[in-house]
Structure 1
Amino acid sequence: MNIYGVVGFKNAGKTGLMERLVAEITGRGLTVSTIKHAHHSFDVDQPGKDSYRHREAGATQTLLASKTRWALMTELRGADEPPLAMLLSHIAPVDLVLIEGYKRDRHPKVEAFRAETGNPLLALSDPTVKAVATDTPQELTQPQFDLNDTQAIADFILGELGL
């Protein structure tokens, strides 16, 4: 499975870049799935709905299905957060899986970087960061792209993967 990450600190532009990359790459006829790492608790279900009630009653997994989509929710119930490799095993085959976050994992990545945030560049110390998408040119050995040049960033990722 081809995977590529988008990493960076908070407010660096990761989610916007992910959204644009998905649109750009699927617009080229390739299939893309995404994985997003959250550093906080989140809920995709709504209180009072049947699936929420199943989960709240103690179900470890709840699968919700309709004619337009299905979703599988898994409650960890105190277990450790699953590693990225395990999550990837649940993704149906596609041309590319784009991963937002998981900056400590060892897959290839593009770093989204906005100078105004004052955060350090991950690319300076992480060899898995293969390029930087930035709003301000930086002194780097890795290729860098304008943060808004989605086509060039997509070309780079697809070229790296031979797609």
Structure 2
Amino acid sequence: MSMKPRVVQLVGYSDSGKTTLLSRLIPLLQRQGLRVGVVKHDGGHDFELDQPGKDTWRYREAGASLVAISSQTKTAFIEQQPLPLEQIVARMGQAGADLVLVEGFKREHYPKLVLIRKPQDRELLAAVTNVVAIVTWDEWEHGGLPVFHVDDAQAIASFVQKGE
């Protein structure tokens, strides 16, 4: 029986440090015994996971709706349709994730850490829902939310782990 994983989103404008911060948080959270899944939102681009000419690419080009490749160390699925974030999270839970960190998907309802790199980025706080903390490049205070410096990955990981 699968458990429903906890979900935390990291949202921010382009070049706000989302990917770098996630790359720092993942090993810290894994060391705490959490099995961490990550979802990256591609924001309207048509990403290409396969390499042209490779077998899985050829299968997709031939019209397969779902292609999987598996080795002794990993498995990847490529599905030829967009899925709602909720379904992706559920699948990660079925695969054993305790925590799913989501980069992007600003309009979803999960708890969010908002990355603020420049003062004008603060407008994002009013544009998204369910903000639980702010991650910033500059020192500033917010009346109602915890504020973390982007370089304090340990404190951010502790906050995420506690699920506050």
Give me the TM-score of the superposition, normalised by structure 2. 0.88
Point out where structure 2 has 5 or more consecutive residues left out of the alignment.
none
Take 1:94 and 1:65, find their aligned partners in 2: how far apart are those partners? Answer: 19
**Is 1:72 equivalent to 2:74 in the alignment?**
no
Report the RMSD for the aligned CA atoms in angstroms.
1.6
**1:97 match:** 100
1:12 touches 1:112 (CA, 8 Å); kept in 2? yes
**Is 1:30 equivalent to 2:31 in the alignment?**
no
**1:88 match:** 89
Change (3 A) 1:47 1:126: closer
Take 1:126 and 1:69, find their aligned partners in 2: how far apart are those partners? Answer: 35
Q: Which runs of 4+ in 1 moved over 4 A?
A: none
Secondary structure of the residue aligned to 1:87 is helix
Secondary structure of the residue aligned to 1:110 is strand
Give me the TM-score of the superposition, normalised by structure 1. 0.89
Take 2:129 and 2:110, find their aligned partners in 1: how far apart are those partners? Answer: 10
1:3 touches 1:97 (CA, 8 Å); kept in 2? yes
Number of aligned positions between the proteins: 156
User: Within 5 A, what are the aligned runs for 1:9-24?
Assistant: 9-24=13-28
Deviation sequence 1:80-118 (CA, Å, 0-9, x none) = x321111112211222111111111000011112117x4
| CA displacement at 1:139 relative to structure 2 | 4.5
Change (3 A) 1:58 1:4: same
Deviation sequence 1:112-151 (CA, Å, 0-9, x none) = 12117x4344223434111011011334221101111001
Point out where structure 1 has 5 or more consecutive residues left out of the alignment.
none
**Aligned AA for 1:46?**
Q
